[in-house]
Amino acid sequence: MKATPEDQNLLIELQLIDSQITQAKTKLAGLPELEQIAAIHARLENTAVELTVVETELADVVIDLRRSELEVEQVDDRIQKDEKRLASGSASPKELEQLQHEVATLGKRKAELEDGELEIMIKHDGVKARVDELLNDQVGLKKLELELNIRLENARTEIDKTLAELAQSRAALVPKIDQALIALYDKIRLSAHGVGAALLVGNKCDGCHLAINAIEIERIKGLAVDEVIRCEECRRILVRI
C-alpha cells in the first residue's frame, strides 16, 4: 500500500487522539469513587441489616420493661392495700399475722422485681445506644455517599468533556487522511490493543518497542517515502520520522 508521508504523519496524529480516547475511557471506567461508593453501599447494607435486628430487640426490651413496671406496680398496690388494712386496726389478730406475713413476702417480691427491672433498664440502655450508634453511622455514610457521588459526577463531567473534544478533533482529522490507510489502521487496531500505527524510532517500533533487525532496517531505508511499511513483530503500520 502507498500513502503520502503527510497522510502517514496525520495517521500518527490520529493514533495519538485514539490513544487519548482509550486512556480517558479507561479512566472513566476505573474512577476510584466507583469502588469507594460500592464500599459505602456494602456498609450501608450491613448497617441496615443490623439496625433491623437491634430495633426489633429494642421493641422487645421496651415491652419487657413495661411488663416489669406493671408487675412492680401491682405488687406495690397490694402492699399499700395490706398496709391500709393493717393501719385500720379492724383486723383480727390472726388476720393481722397473715397480713404482716403477706406484706413481708410482697416486699421481698417487689425487691426482686425491681432488681429485674433494673437489669432490663440496663439492657434497654445498651440496645438503645447501639441503635443510636447505627443511626449515626447511617447518617455519616449517607453524607459520605453524597460527597462521593458529587466527586464522581465532577470527574465524569471532566472526562466526558475531554472525550467530546477528542471526538471533535478526530472527526476533523479523519477526512484529511486517505480512507484506505484509515481502513487498514482500524483493522490493525482491533487486534493490537487499539494501536494501529507507530513511529519508527531509530531501529525500534514505538508500538511493540522491539528492535527491528539490521537487514529489515536497510530494506526500509531503500523504500520510497510513500511506501506503507509494517512492523514485522506487531504488524502495526510503521511511520518513518
Is the separation of the CB atoms in 182 and 174 below 8 Å? Answer: yes
Give the residue from 16, 15, 120 showing the smallest Cα distance to 61. Answer: 120
Cα dihedral value 98, 101, 103, 106, nearest 10: -120
Nearer of residues 75 and 212 to Zn ion, judged by Cβ: 212
User: Of 52-60, 125-133, 168-176, 231-239, which part binds Zn ion (CB under 5 A)?
Assistant: 231-239
Which one of 208, 220, 230, 240 is in contact with Zn ion (CB under 5 A)?
208
Q: Which residue has the cell 480512507?
A: 179
User: Is 237 one of the binding residues for Zn ion (CB under 5 A)?
Assistant: no
Non-local (6+) Cβ contacts of 107 within 8 A are 79
Which one of 45, 132, 153, 233 is in contact with Zn ion (CB under 5 A)?
233
Is the separation of the CB atoms in 37 and 152 below 8 Å? Answer: yes
Nearer of residues 196 and 207 to Zn ion, judged by Cβ: 207
User: Is 195 one of the binding residues for Zn ion (CB under 5 A)?
Assistant: no
- What does the alpha-carbon distance between residue 73 and residue 113 come to, in Å, rounded to a whole number? 10
Binding mask 24-43 for Zn ion (x = CB under 5 A): --------------------
User: Is 196 one of the binding residues for Zn ion (CB under 5 A)?
Assistant: no
User: Is 192 one of the binding residues for Zn ion (CB under 5 A)?
Assistant: no
Q: How far is the CB of 209 from Zn ion (least distance, A)?
A: 7
